[in-house]
């Protein structure tokens, strides 16, 4: 991502994230629920960071220690009593002591706000010297949204739907809750907000009316409904996931990747896909996956925390777990699992194998059914397979163990000791061939099968005679 030019005045951000999210029916703070493998508040923080906003203060609720830890290194402040949005913003005042510039107020459960929209808000405030700029939008159904009332001199006030007149309810421009304000004006206006409403709460929206009474001007910027989607329930979380996946699929294809069946491919927000990558259906990219150019993923795969180098072929039905590093032109085949292992250039692990805590050297071949037995019940140990080695089918490599360059293991071997370069490791008993046994065995078995049939026929014949 290209660095954005520095704004003409510094902008701090306050992220409101103290809501309990009761409709989620979850012990996890609402804003930590993931969209595209990333907590929804993480999407907000990434956008603010890309816009070079600093400092960023996150307002959390009491007992939300896990949320406070997750937003580090940004500072978290606690709203111990939930007395409304204005009260929540005031909790960040001490953390912004001495700050001069603009302050943006956003919500941790609105993950799709874009940098372009925030830039528009900055530009409007700077051009018109507004004390406050509110981000509005025009939903298909304004419903219970607060309405933005525009007058000759800009934004006059914000009216809650339940308090709006019939004429005001006809207004389509609604309040998103996102506000940009001059720091000095913001703190002065917040000091005058009263809790004189049915809920006895301090509403942030009241600062618009207070600003106009003080002779200050307020402005509005129109935003897109989709980017202002708030997530308050599991159903809305699913809607947000669908929106993000469609964006990520389009981005991947626009970047030069082929998705055979786009609707069945799922990305994480941080997935990196190169050019001329072909992705088969029903493939899932968990967090931390990067794919270089000219990779062919054959579908029905699951990846997380893995890197796939140029020219590799993976799948179908492959699983790459954290720490998997697949080298250029390597092959990872069907029902192969790789975890915390390096598969070097041109190596092949094509069938029904588990490779964990290992190195597979360049152009080595790992036969079907191979297992690196990396865990002894107490710790993980390394299996080191040298370049050009050939691992026979159904081999168990008991780590820690090293297979030398060009070495081989016989089919079915259980390898507990290091194998020197170019050596063959076998430990099965000597094969014995018994000539003619198979024919005799078949004849014996066929005779056993025929006896019950003869007995049954004899019984039927006896009944007829009677």
Positive/negative CA dihedral, 77, 82, 85, 87: negative
| Closest alpha carbon to 338 in 386, 306, 294 | 306
| pLDDT exceeds 70 at position 463 | no
97 three-class SS: coil
How far apart CA 152 and CA 98 sit, in angstroms, is 34
How many residues does this entry show for the chain? 466
| Closest alpha carbon to 382 in 414, 407, 359 | 359
pLDDT of 388: 97
Catalytic choice (43, 331, 351, 381): 351
Q: Which tokens is 287 given?
A: 């967090």
Long-range contacts of 369-376, Cβ-Cβ distance < 8 Å, separation of 24 or more: 369/393, 369/394, 369/395, 370/394, 370/395, 370/396, 370/397, 371/395, 371/396, 371/397, 372/341, 372/397, 372/399, 373/397, 373/398, 373/399, 374/399
Domain extents in the chain: 11-228, 255-335, 346-430
Q: Which tokens is 444 given?
A: 């014996």
Q: Which CATH architecture has domain 255-335?
A: 3 Solenoid (2.160)
pTM: 0.87
Q: Would 255-335 and 346-430 be classified into the same CATH topology?
A: yes
- 130 within 8 A of 120, measured Cβ to Cβ: no
Could you report the per-residue pLDDT of 265-314, keeping only the tens digit for each?
999 999 999 999 999 999 999 999 999 999 999 999 999 999 999 999 99
Quickly tell me which residue has 């914000």 as its tokens: 158
Q: Is 351 a catalytic residue?
A: yes
| Topology of the domain covering 346-430 | UDP N-Acetylglucosamine Acyltransferase; domain 1 (2.160.10)
Could you report the per-residue pLDDT of 350-396, keeping only the tens digit for each?
999 999 999 999 999 999 999 999 999 999 999 999 999 999 999 99
How far apart CA 275 and CA 296 sit, in angstroms, is 11
pLDDT of 449: 67
| pLDDT exceeds 60 at position 4 | no
- 189 within 8 A of 209, measured Cβ to Cβ: no
> Domain 11-228 has what CATH class?
alpha beta
Of residues 4 and 9, more confidently modeled: 9
How far apart CA 343 and CA 390 sit, in angstroms, is 14
**pLDDT-derived band of residue 445, with 50, 70 and 90 as boundaries?**
confident
């Amino acid at each position: 991502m290209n660095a954005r030019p520095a704004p003409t005045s510094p902008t701090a951000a306050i992220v409101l994230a103290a809501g309990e999210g009761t409709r989620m029916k979850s012990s996890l703070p609402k804003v930590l629920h993931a969209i595209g493998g990333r907590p929804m508040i993480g999407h907000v923080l990434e956008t603010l960071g890309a816009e070079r906003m600093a400092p960023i203060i996150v307002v959390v609720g009491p007992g939300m220690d896990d949320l406070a830890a997750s937003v580090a290194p940004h500072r978290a402040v606690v709203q111990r009593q939930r007395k409304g949005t204005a009260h929540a913003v005031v909790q960040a005042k001490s953390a912004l002591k001495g700050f001069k510039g603009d302050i943006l107020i956003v919500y941790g459960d609105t993950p799709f706000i874009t940098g372009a929209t925030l830039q528009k808000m900055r530009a409007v405030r700077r051009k018109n010297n507004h004390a406050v700029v509110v981000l509005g939008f025009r939903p298909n159904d304004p419903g219970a949204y607060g309405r933005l009332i525009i007058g000759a001199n800009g934004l006059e006030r914000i009216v809650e739907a339940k308090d709006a007149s019939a004429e005001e309810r006809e207004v389509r421009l609604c309040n998103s809750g996102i506000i940009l304000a001059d720091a000095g004006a913001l703190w002065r206006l917040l000091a005058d907000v009263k809790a004189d409403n049915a809920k006895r709460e301090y509403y942030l929206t009241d600062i618009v009316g207070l600003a106009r009474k003080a002779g200050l001007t307020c402005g509005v910027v129109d935003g897109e409904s989709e980017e202002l989607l708030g997530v308050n329930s599991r159903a809305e979380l699913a809607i947000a996931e669908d929106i993000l996946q469609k964006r990520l699929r389009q981005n991947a294809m626009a970047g030069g990747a082929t998705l055979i069946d786009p609707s069945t491919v799922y990305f994480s927000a941080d997935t990196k896909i190169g050019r001329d990558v072909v992705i088969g259906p029903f493939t899932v990219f968990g967090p931390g996956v990067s794919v270089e150019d000219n990779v062919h993923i054959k579908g029905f795969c699951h990846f997380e925390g893995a890197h796939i180098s140029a020219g590799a072929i993976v799948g179908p039905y492959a699983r790459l777990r954290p720490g998997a590093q697949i080298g250029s032109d390597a092959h990872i085949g069907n029902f192969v699992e790789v975890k915390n292992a390096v598969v070097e250039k041109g190596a092949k692990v094509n069938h029904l194998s588990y490779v964990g805590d290992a190195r597979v050297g360049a152009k080595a071949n790992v036969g079907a059914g191979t297992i690196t037995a990396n865990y002894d019940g107490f710790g993980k140990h390394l299996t080191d397979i040298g370049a050009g080695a050939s691992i026979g089918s159904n081999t168990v490599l008991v780590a820690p163990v090293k297979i030398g360059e060009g070495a081989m293991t016989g089919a079915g071997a259980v390898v507990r000791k290091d194998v020197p370069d170019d050596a063959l490791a076998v430990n099965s008993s000597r094969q014995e061939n018994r000539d003619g046994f198979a024919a005799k065995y078949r004849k014996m078995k066929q005779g056993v099968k025929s006896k019950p049939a003869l007995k049954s026929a004899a019984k039927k014949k006896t009944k007829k005679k009677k």
